[in-house]
Amino acid sequence: MNLDTCYRLSREAVIRPERFGGLVYRYDNRRLYFLYSHDLVSFVCSIDGTHPIGVALERFLATRNLPDNAHAAFVQALTQLEQLKVLTVCDA
């Protein structure tokens, strides 16, 4: 994942907040993915593609009281979501 690139939630995916975090559903392949962090669900739902994801992540984390390793954990999770095609690069 390139943190200098703008991403958005794929048009084929939707996230539903749940008690444990959130459910990601992909319409195109009918797959479900689980997110076990309410903060991650909030961040992914807030991505609108107007700012590079690294900038958006820094702003988001600045508003939360999360441990020091949160940035690395978020980047790892976002990279996996990109690989699953839940997050896509914004069109130029």
Residue-level pLDDT, tens digit, the chain, 92 residues: 899 999 999 999 999 999 999 999 999 999 999 999 999 999 999 999 999 999 999 999 999 988 889 999 999 999 999 999 999 999 75
Hey, what's the torsion of the CAs at 33, 72, 91, 26, to 10 degrees?
0
The predicted structure's pLDDT at residue 92: 54
Please state whether 91 falls in left (phi above 0), alpha (psi between -120 and 50) or beta. beta
- 7-89: in CATH 1.20.120: no
CA–CA dist 90, 68 (Å, integer): 29
**Boundaries of every domain in the chain:** 7-89
Specify the pTM: 0.90
The predicted structure's pLDDT at residue 25: 97
The predicted structure's pLDDT at residue 65: 87
The predicted structure's pLDDT at residue 86: 95
